[in-house]
Amino acid sequence: MAADARLPQLTAAEAGRLIQRRELSPVELVQALSERIAATEPALRAWTALDGEGALAAARQAERHPWSGPLHGIPFGAKDIYWTTDLPTGALFEPLRDYRAPRDAEAAARLKAAGAILLGKTATTQFALADPAPTTNPWNLGRTPGGSSSGSAAAVASRQVPLALGTQTAGSVIRPAAFCGAVGFKPSFGRVSRRGIFPLAWTLDHAGVLCRSVEDAVLWLDAVQGHDADDPFSAIAPPVDIAAARLESRGAPVLGLVRDFVDRAEPEVRDHLLQTASRLEAMGANIREVVLPVELDQLLATQFIILRSEAAALHAHLLHQQGEHYGPRLKAAVQTGQLIPAAAYLHALRLRRQYARATEQLFAGVQALLLPSVGSLPPDRSGTGESSFQAIWSMFGCPAISLPSGLSHEGLPFGTQLVGARLQDAALLSCAAWCEKALPPMPAPPLP
């Protein structure tokens, strides 16, 4: 008997409430999502591996056990750079195609401990950098879903799964979320352990999530946040106050409209962002224009040097041994990084500290910054889009979230980005929850 076709439309939070009230079985949910994947995956190619039988077994176990929290029985996908013992972790790198990790990545392990069910591994660009994954955009199969969390964003947006793990080193959660019409959340640097995630750049890598509501992002953060002594960059800071993150009764927010990004966006994106700002203002938000204290190109150049230098150090040995398996863009990025002098890298780290202090002034008197998630609509699949609208926030370790905010005249999604001050994740999520209610709901993409 066919599963209820309405179940894949549920967000993680909605499904969790039904499971808590025993109005929905985790088994029914896994079966419905598996049918949705079977119908859409041939066109979408969002997954590198699926574990339908394992997910069903876990769902049956969740059905028998007492309810353990809002993610009890909720299926999730994991970007294919997260270690998982259930399935291989290949990173779109042929020599690792059958690699079995010794343990789950900490973020995946914490999700499982919260009762969530691993459904499969989602496609990524090679080692989460530049060479496109095979995944298509669910709104237009000829357009890119973004990178590098390509499969996670496409799977969530197309209702194959309500929640999927992603990562962001420059823009790899926010950009694919915007291109696919999903919610993408990257918490502050160090909030979520990166242990068991293939690294790209030590001081830039963030764990993140693709989902379909701000509430889902809050539930995910609650499950996975916290210091991890096995991650040397894990933040030693009080956990995010989840009650505060879900509080929408603080009143309308004060938002800083970052003029530098508005002026840099393509006309259709710029016009949409200004219309969105007007919509939020009409709902009561206080919108103030702010300007970056440092030229954006200078900030991006600093981020470029840090990312390329760290990626080169991480990949030097493997590139030497297995260079024939590297995609051309990743290989070029690593080789470029190998040409950057150590003195330039160290100078870039010093500049980052200076620029981070200067940029803190943007958050004075505002709850979040407002800007486009990405400067263009999704381009074709020869690339993954560019990261200039997201990269500096990764460099500074600020929390950021992309909210789907409408469709273009071509029927492609727009994303609106909110950025918070470092370690002020609760304030950002509260602001995002308020803004989400003021924005039009995002329909499902036109897949079968």
How many helices (DSSP H) and strands (DSSP E) are in the chain? Answer: 15, 11
Nearest to 73 by CA among 107, 27, 8: 27
Query: Residues 358, 362, 363, 365: is their CA dihedral positive or negative?
Result: positive
Nearest to 322 by CA among 138, 72, 96, 150: 96
Alpha-carbon distance 24 to 303, whole Å?
46
Alpha-carbon distance 217 to 230, whole Å?
24
* DSSP code for 225: B
Residues with catalytic function: 79, 148, 172
3-state class of 402 per DSSP?
strand
Place of tokens 């926030």: 393
Nearest to 137 by CA among 100, 176, 101: 176
Alpha-carbon distance 247 to 8, whole Å?
27
Instruction: Give me the helices (H) in 114-265, please.
Output: 150-157, 174-180, 214-224, 242-245, 259-264
Alpha-carbon distance 290 to 189, whole Å?
23
Alpha-carbon distance 375 to 266, whole Å?
6
Tokens of 345: 């890298």
Structural contact between residues 431 and 446, judged by C-beta atoms closer than 8 angstroms: no
Alpha-carbon distance 258 to 264, whole Å?
10
Long-range pairs for 278-285 at CB < 8 Å and ≥24 separation? 279/438, 279/439, 280/255, 280/370, 280/435, 280/438, 283/252, 283/438, 284/251, 284/252, 285/252, 285/253, 285/254, 285/255, 285/434, 285/435, 285/438
